[in-house]
Chains A and B, each alone.
Chain A
Amino acid sequence: MTFHDIYLLSPEMSMAGLAAVLILVDLVFSKKSALTAIAFVGLAIPLTLSIVLWVDLNDQAVTQMDADFGTETVAFVVDKFSLFFKFLIVAIVALVVLASSEYADKFQRFRAEYFALILFSASGMMLLASTVELISIYVSLELTSLPLAALAAFLRDDKSAESGLKFLILSTISSAVLLYGMVLIYGFTGTTVLADIATQLGAIDLSADEAFGANVLLFGVVLVIAGFGFKIASVPFQMWAPDVYEGAPTPITAFLSVASKAAGFAVILRVFYVAFDSEMLSRDWAAVFAVLAILSMSFGNLVAILQTNIKRMLAYSTVAHAGYLMVGLSAVAARVPEAIAGPSGVLFYVSGYAATNLAAFAAIIAISNRVGSDRIDAFAGMSRRAPFLAGVLGFALVSLIGIPPTVGFMAKIYIFGAAVNANLEWLALAGVINSVISAYYYLRVIKVMYLQAPEDESHVSSGGMPLKIAIFVAMAGTGFFGIYPTPLINAARTAIGVLIS
C-alpha cells in the first residue's frame, strides 16, 4: 500500500478515524454534549478530502488502487461516480448527526458509541461506492450492515430490540444469498473483478434465447439481485423494513431509509453497468428490475394506505420509492440514444429523495419527541401547535407525492421520462398511477395536521438549534432543486458518465 493508495482512501479512513476519536474522547472527557459538535465538525475532514479528490481527478476519469490477492487485482477505484455518492453520504450523515443531537439524550451514556456506529456504517457505504470487485463489495456491505443492526437496537426497549434482531438476522441471510450468487458468478467467469467479468462474459458464447444465456449465470445474477434487493428494501425482500423502521430510533430510521438506499443503488449501478453490461444480459436484468419496480411501487403504496404509525407508513413509502428508482435502473438498459437518462435519473432521484426524506424525518423527530408518539393521530392540529414543523413535514410529503415546486416532482418526471425514452411507456404509466395512489396517504397526514383539532392546544417548540439547521438544510435542498435542478442533474450526469460512455 503506497502513500497514493492512502490518499485515495482518505475520505473513508478519516470517517472511520473520526469514529475512533469520538470513542476515545468519550473515555477522557465527561462532557457528553460536546460529542455532537465533534462529530459534526469532524465530518468536514472527509468532505474536504472528497473535494480535493474531485478536483484532483479533473478530467481524468479513474484513479485506482490495487489489492494484492496473489495476483494484481483492482479492488477500489476513485472516480466521479463514487465521489458523487461520497458527497451524498457525508451530507446525509451530517444531517443525521444534527437531527440526533436531542434524540441522543435518550441514551446519554452511549452517545459516543451511537455516533461512532453511524460513522462506521457510513465509511462502509462510502467504500461500497468505490469497490469494483466482488469480495470487497461483500466486505464493505458487512461493514455497512453490522453497525446498523446495533443502532436499530439502541433504544433497548422491546420494539427496538426486535428491530435490531430482525435486521441482524435478515441482513445476514441476505448476505449469504448475495455471497452464494457471487460464488456462482465467480465459478462461471473465474474472476471477481467486475471489469474482467464483463470481458469473460463477452468471450463466452451465450445462447440468446435462454435468460442470461446460461442457467448458472441466471441463478447467480438473480441471487445477487436478491441480496441487493434487501439493501434497498424492494419487494419481495422488503419484509424487514416496517418492523425495523418502527422500532429503531427515528434518526436511525432516517439514516436507513436514505443512506442505505443510496449505497445500495450505488453498488447496483456499478455491478450491473460494469459487469453485466452486454446487450443481451442488460435486456434480461432490465426486465427483472422492471417487474420488481412495479411490484415494489404497487405493494409499498397500497399497504402504506393502511398504516396508522407514521414511521411504518414511511417504511412502506420507502419500498415504493425503491420501486420508482428501479424504473430508472431498467430504463438504462435499453440501448437507445441518451442511455444515460435512466441511471443519471437514479442518481438525481436518490439525492432528491435523501433531501426530502431527511426533511420529513427531522420534522417527525422534533414533533414525536415532544408529543411522545409516532401515531399519525398524534399529529392532529400540528399546523397550530407547531406551524413551522407542520409546514416542513407538509412540504416534504408534497415532494414525496411529486407535486411542484419540489425536487420530488422534478425527479419523478426525469426518471419517468427516462422510462419513456427507453420505450417503457407502460412502466412509466404504472409509475405515475402509483404516484396518484401515494397522494392519498401522504395527503391524509397533511389533512390530519391541518384539519383535525389537536388534543391539547399547547405549543410544540421547533427543537434546538442543531435540529433546526438540519431541517432548514434538508428543506432548502428539497425546494431549491425543485425550482432549479440543473446543477444536480449535471452532477449526476457527470458521475454516471464514468460508467457509461
Chain B
Amino acid sequence: MAGAFMIALFIRGDRNIRIFAAAVSLAELVLAIVIFALFDLDAGADQYQLIDKAENWIPIDSFKVQYFLGIDGISAPMVLLTGLLGSVAVYSSWSVKTRVREYFMWLLALQSAVMGVFTALDFFMFFLFWELELIPMFFLISIWGSGRREYSAMKFVIFTILGSAFMLIGILVLFYSTGTFDMTLLPEAIANGKLLLPIGTVFTLLFIAFAVKLPIWPLHTWLPDAHTDAPTAASVMLAGVLLKMGAYGMIRVSVSMFPGVISDIAWLLATAGVVNILYGAAVVLRQTDLKRLIAFSSISHMGFVLLGLSVVVGVDGAVSTVGLTGAALQMFTHGTITGLLFLLVGYIYEKAHTRYIPDLGGLAGKMPLLTASLVVAGLASLGLPSTSGFVAEIHVFLGAFAVWSWLTAIGAFGVVITAAYVLWMIQRSMFGPRNPHLDDVSDATPLEMLPVAAMVIAIMVVGIYPSPIADVFSSGLAPIVDSLQNVGVAGLR
C-alpha cells in the first residue's frame, strides 16, 4: 500500500505542476489517514499490519533483502504526521517561483523517502530510505534556501551521511551475525545470537546515526544552519518529520532491539535529554532571527523525547508505558507545532521581508489571523493545557519523575525558559509599537490559512482528546515495554 507513494512520484507533466503536486500530496494525506484508520487496535499488540512484502527482491543467501513494509502502533501516527506535513509543505510552497518543477519533484521525493523510513520493516530498506532522503534535502536547501544555503546544505549532508556511515556498519554486523535484515525477527535474533562485535559497540554504531538526526548535543550544529537557511516547506519537513526519524530509529532500533543496553545507559539518555532541554532553551534566549529561534527550540524539545526514552529502566523492575508514550507523543506533537511555527514564520517573512525580531513589531493589527495562529502555536510549544504540547510533556514528566526525580526537576526548568522565550518572541514580533516600514503588510489570505487551520486543528484535537493517538502509540510500545520488563526483572535477580 505504501508502495503506491513511490510510483505516484514519477508521473509528472510539464504543466500545472503545482496542482499535480498538490493532488499527489493530498492523495498521500488521504492514504495516510486511511492507513491510520485501518490500523486495528485490537489486533494484538505485537502485530504488524498492512504488510507489503516481497521476499524475492535480492534473494541471495549471503545478502537476503526483502521488500518489506508494514506499520505498527509506533509508525502509524508517524505516517499520519508525514502525510499531514507533506501536504502542508506543498501548499505552503505556492509562492515558489523559480524552478518550480524541480522543487516539487524534490519535495515529493523527500516525503516518500521519509514515509519509507517509517514503514520499512527490513533493515536494508530502512537504510535505503534513510539515505534516499539526503539528496532531495540537499537540493531543497541549496537551491531555494536563503543565507548561507550552500554551506548549510553541505553541512547537513555531511553530518547525516557520517552518522549513517556508522549505522551501515552496525546494520551489516547485525546481518552477518544473525543472517537476517528482517526487523521483526531481529530483536529475538540479537537476544539469542552471538554478535560479531560486542553488543555495546553495535548499539553505539547504530545510535550515533540517530543521535545526529535527533539531534543530541553536541551533534546538533547542523540543525540551526539547515533549519534557518532552508525554504519554508523544507523547514517544515525538516523540523516536523526528519528529526522524528532519529527519535523513531531510537525507539524502533535502539530500544526494541537492544533492551539490555538501553537500560544500562538510560542515565546517559536522561542526562543528555536534560542537557538538550536546557542548552536549547538557553541558546534560544539569545536568538534574534525567528527561524533560528525555532530551530534551537527544536533542540530543546527533542530533549523531552530523550528524557521520555530514558524511562526504559523503570522502577524496581516495573517499566511503565507512560514515559515512552510521552516520548512518542512528543514526536508527534512537536511535528505539528514546530511545523506550524515554521510555516507561520515563512508567511511573516514573505510579507514583512524580515525575520529579524527587532525589525518586526506591532504586526498584530495588520495580520490578526497570523498573530492568532502564532499565539496558538507558541502556547502549544510551551505546553499549555488543552494543546497537544501539554499532553506530551506531562506524560514525559510523569514517567521520568518516578525514575530520575532530580534530573526531571532540573529539566522542568526548561519549561519555564520555554515560556519566557515564546512569550518574549510573540510580544516583540507581533505586539508593541509597529515599525514604520511595516505599515503596508497584509494578512494571510484564506487560501494560505488553509494549512495553518489544519495544523491548529490537529494540535487542539490531540490536546483535548489525545487518546486515539496515544492508544495507538501505547499498543505499539507494549511489546517493547514487555521486553524491557524482562530485562529489568532479570537485572533485579
Binding site for B on A (CB under 8 A): 338, 340-341, 398, 403-405, 409, 413-414, 416-417, 420-421, 423, 425, 428-429, 432-433, 435-436, 439-440, 443, 447, 450-451, 484-486, 489-490, 493
**How far apart sit A190 and B166, CA to CA, in the bound complex (Å)?**
48
Q: Which residues of B contact A341 (CB under 8 A)?
A: 62-63
8 A-B residue pairs with Cβ-Cβ distance under 8 Å, sorted by A, are A413-B124, A417-B175, A420-B196, A425-B173, A425-B196, A447-B150, A447-B154, A489-B60
Q: For the complex, give the distance between the alpha carbons of A423 and B194 in Å.
A: 14
Asked whether, in the complex, the Cβ of A414 is within 8 Å of the Cβ of B142, the reply is: no
Closest 4 CB pairs of A and B: A432-B165, A420-B172, A338-B62, A421-B176
* List of B residues within 8 angstroms of A484 by Cβ: 57
- Assess whether A432 is in contact with B168, with CB atoms less than 8 Å apart: yes
| CB within 8 Å for A451 and B165 given contacts A420-B196, A489-B63, A490-B60 | no
The reply to whether A433 and B162 form a contact with Cβ atoms under 8 Å apart is yes
Known: A420-B196, A447-B150, A486-B58. A436 touches B131 (CB 8 A): no
Q: Which residues of B contact A409 (CB under 8 A)?
A: 128, 131
Q: Which residue of B lies closest to A348 (CB)?
A: B63
Q: A403-B135, A421-B62, A432-B168 are in contact. List 6 more A-B contacts (CB 8 A).
A: A413-B172, A414-B63, A416-B169, A425-B169, A429-B166, A432-B166
Cβ distance A336 to chain B, nearest Cβ, rounded Å = 9
Cβ of B394 < 8 Å from any Cβ of A? no
Q: Which residues of B contact A439 (CB under 8 A)?
A: 157-158, 161
Task: Find out whether the CB atom of B135 lies under 8 angstroms from the CB atom of A398.
Answer: yes
Distance in angstroms from A348 CB to nearest chain B CB is 10
Q: Which residues on B sit within 8 Å (CB–CB) of A413?
A: 124, 127, 168, 172
B417 interface hit (Cβ, 8 Å): no
Inter-chain CA distance A416–B134, complex, in Å, is: 21
Instruction: Report A-chain residues with C-beta under 8 Å of the C-beta of B61.
Output: 338
Question: Could you tell me if B169 and A428 are in contact, using CB atoms closer than 8 angstroms?
Answer: yes
Give, as a whole number of angstroms, the nearest-CB distance from B242 to chain A. Answer: 16
- A485 and B60 CA atoms in complex are apart in Å by 10
Most buried by B among A338, A341, A432, A433: A432
Interface class of chain B by DSSP: helix
Q: Which residues of B contact A493 (CB under 8 A)?
A: 60
Q: How far is the CB of B57 from chain A (nearest CB, A)?
A: 7
A403 & B169 in contact (Cβ 8 Å cutoff): no
- Known contacts: A432-B165, A486-B59, A489-B60. The answer to whether A443 contacts B176 by CB under 8 A is no
Please give, as numbers and ranges, the residues of chain B lying within 8 Å of A405 by CB-CB distance. Answer: 128, 132
CB pair B169 A432 closer than 8 Å: yes
Cβ B172 vs Cβ A486 within 8 A? no
B149: nearest chain-A partner, CB-CB: A451
With A423-B196, A439-B157, A486-B57 already in contact, the answer to whether A404 and B132 are too (CB < 8 A) is yes
Q: Report A-chain residues with C-beta under 8 Å of the C-beta of B162.
A: 433, 436
Cβ-based interface call for B222 (8 A): no
- Contact of B138 with A by CB under 8 A: yes
B91 at the interface (CB under 8 A from A): no
For residue B148, give the distance in angstroms from its CB to the closest CB of chain A: 13
CB-based contact B58/A403 at 8 Å: no
Known pairs A416-B172, A417-B172, A433-B162; A451 contacts B150 (CB<8 A):
yes
- Chain A min CB distance to B114 (Å): 14
Return chain A residues, CB-CB under 8 Å to B58.
485-486, 489
A434 to B: closest C-beta gap in Å: 9
Task: Tell me, yes or no, whether B143 is within 8 Å of chain A by CB.
Answer: yes
Residue of B nearest to A438 (CB): B161
